Structure 1
């Protein structure tokens, strides 16, 4: 029987120069995230979330990039049970928002992680959640908040939730990065990566192609992190989905399901005109480049990508106007920047996505361009 040869590790050792280079890279790319930790009673958290929610002025708000309500009632009930039992609850991450595009600082708090918990607490206190499938506190099954004795209601409202609050120095990219790392980790796929695998087809391929257009990426000023997270592809998908189906948007189904359904149906449509789609997208890009000096950029240095809501409102509004008048011309940036313009209010980064508001902000852009 032949003797086994000794296996040697031929991989070269890490040199001191490589170690120094790695340390330098960490220091360069490490983001200084200033934060403070506090605790709020449940009652206060719900109040901060509810007061002003209808007109998008609530102090504690859910941003556009966040997920929809995905917990079912059983999971919501178990979370409420944990509060009753006094079990440790993961902290809610929020960020103090200082909107660089508006002079007025409203000191609002954007929820980075914890929307399911905040929504669940709100639903329970508003008597919209009936507890179910509880094992530890089975006697509470079928209870709503209003069914509890007053002393128990008060004690529940006084239960505290720990809040980790990023200071106003954290920019949107940092907040999104934290959200992704908390919710998905580094090995799970984001929504666009999932769509590429679940909904392959001609439209998916077209979206991939258009997302790489240099002019488009320049007008949006995508960061490398955003490109790696496939934000350009999502922006293109949003353009086509809202352009063709914005009046059918159902806020209860949520943006993710809306985009998924559009992409699936578009790929299945044998009669879809890919050349027309490409032409409309490229024509819209040309118009924006010519008539809006900042494009889809934001921030004081115009080195950040604007919010998804502003992108879809402006891009779709432009495309709809061009459908009605293909030789359209627009002078100036009053539509975007004028204090008299409603564009800023309609497209706040925290603006809600009800059907009425989606239609309003898209058609506002279209009508302004057409002089209506």
Structure 2
């Protein structure tokens, strides 16, 4: 049987010059990712994280783009169990920070990946974590660190975890790129958590600031779990993205690409008016507070977080109406409970451009009496 001819693609023949250029690019980019690998005992890791934490001088620190503590007690307990069992622990990624604006190099280590593990170790050693729902080491359930025998405490403290440390040659762009590559596609980080790390900028900072307004959080009835998962930030981002671009929303490629593209563009746009954005968001929140007794919530479950669809429909519709009439007053019935609003904001309403436009403009027109 004759051998098959080798497949070729004459359209994309790579020249020697291209090969040399590619090799040069690889070598150049590798320079920024210089790293070394070491292992630290648990006790040392916790010490480096805790000492100076209160005044932000701790050697091992969590940057502002990282998420809050989101592991539940059972997840933290399972991690501690893994340490006891001597199971392989994923390495912690850190970066040696050389602050060029600071004359004194403090040689601090920024945690790129591993904040949940470090916080869990710290909570356990400080007796803040009570082990629960352990399967392999079930007799350790209800134990704190102080309940262990002294020899076991010492052995736990001596357990080592691998640290991959980027040298001071790695700039901020490189660190954030690694953060993205580690977490993109991960089920443990949601989209808003990733945006904080990979789409930094003045608008990202504004979204973060506005998301912490207590009136806004109360009107949406965010649970603590929702806050820990940075849902308030996503709601604020949705408000701005739809307010300025709702007519161009397309169900494909989808909402995450829509929000990412908006945030990236507005962060880079030098004409972005942060003061005006802040004013529009706060004016909308004030209008909801005055005219909607249940905030963004409707139906029977007023203690549950309002859905994204209802929030963006009401908030954007109000902001559009305020653009046309800044002294707007609403005297009608609560439109959140109208048959039309309920129909437009059903759970399947987010996938269609037509429905997005219809529900937002319905709110706007009802407020303006059109």
C-alpha displacement at 1:110, in angstroms?
0.9
Aligned residue for 1:78?
A: 78
Aligned residue for 2:123?
A: 123
C-alpha displacement at 1:155, in angstroms?
1.4
Q: Distance in 2 between matches of 1:108 and 1:241?
A: 25
> Which protein shows a greater Rg?
2
Contact 1:192 1:230 in 2 (8 A): no
Please give the secondary structure, in 1, of the residue aligned with 2:230: helix
Distance 1:172 1:83, change over 3 A: same
Note the residue ranges of structure 1 that are not aligned, 5 or more in a row.
1-5, 196-225, 270-280, 289-314, 324-372
Distance 1:43 1:186, change over 3 A: closer
Aligned residue for 2:233?
A: 259
Aligned residue for 2:36?
A: 36
C-alpha displacement at 1:244, in angstroms?
7.7
Matched, 1:59 2:59: yes
Contact 1:40 1:161 in 2 (8 A): yes
Distance 1:86 1:192, change over 3 A: closer
Please give the secondary structure, in 1, of the residue aligned with 2:38: strand
In the TM superposition, 1:233-248 aligns within 5 A as 235-240=202-207, 242-243=209-210, 246=213
Q: Deviations over 1:164-191 (max 9, x none)?
A: 2222221111111122212226999973
Aligned residue for 1:19?
A: 19
Contact 1:43 1:157 in 2 (8 A): yes
Contact 1:97 1:109 in 2 (8 A): yes
Please give the secondary structure, in 2, of the residue aligned with 1:64: coil
C-alpha displacement at 1:286, in angstroms?
7.2
Distance 1:130 1:87, change over 3 A: same
Distance 1:57 1:89, change over 3 A: same
Aligned residue for 2:356?
A: none
C-alpha displacement at 1:103, in angstroms?
1.1
Aligned residue for 2:173?
A: 173
Give the total of aligned pairs. Answer: 246
C-alpha displacement at 1:246, in angstroms?
4.4
Q: Distance in 2 between matches of 1:181 and 1:98?
A: 22
The root-mean-square deviation of aligned C-alpha atoms, in Å, is 4.2
What is the TM-score when the length of structure 1 is the normalising length? 0.55
Q: Distance in 1 between matches of 2:159 and 2:167?
A: 25
Name which of structure 1's ranges 143-152 and 253-262 shifts more when overlaid on structure 2.
Answer: 253-262
Contact 2:38 2:162 in 1 (8 A): yes
C-alpha displacement at 1:91, in angstroms?
1.8
Q: Distance in 2 between matches of 1:148 and 1:49?
A: 23
Q: Distance in 2 between matches of 1:31 and 1:267?
A: 37
Q: Distance in 1 between matches of 2:193 and 2:155?
A: 44
In the TM superposition, 1:197-276 aligns within 5 A as 229-231=198-200, 235-240=202-207, 242-243=209-210, 246=213, 253-254=227-228, 256-264=230-238
In the TM superposition, 1:269-308 aligns within 5 A as none
Please give the secondary structure, in 2, of the residue aligned with 1:30: helix
RCO comparison, higher one (Cα < 8 Å, 6+): 1
C-alpha displacement at 1:124, in angstroms?
0.9
Distance 1:139 1:99, change over 3 A: same
In the TM superposition, 1:178-189 aligns within 5 A as 178-184=178-184
C-alpha displacement at 1:156, in angstroms?
0.9
Note the residue ranges of structure 2 that are not aligned, 5 or more in a row.
218-223, 244-265, 283-370
C-alpha displacement at 1:80, in angstroms?
0.5
Aligned residue for 1:312?
A: none
Distance 1:45 1:28, change over 3 A: closer
Q: Distance in 2 between matches of 1:178 and 1:32?
A: 11
Q: Distance in 1 between matches of 2:76 and 2:193?
A: 28
C-alpha displacement at 1:35, in angstroms?
2.4
Contact 2:93 2:113 in 1 (8 A): yes
Distance 1:30 1:161, change over 3 A: closer
Aligned residue for 1:49?
A: 49
Q: Deviations over 1:105-124 (max 9, x none)?
A: 11211111111110110111
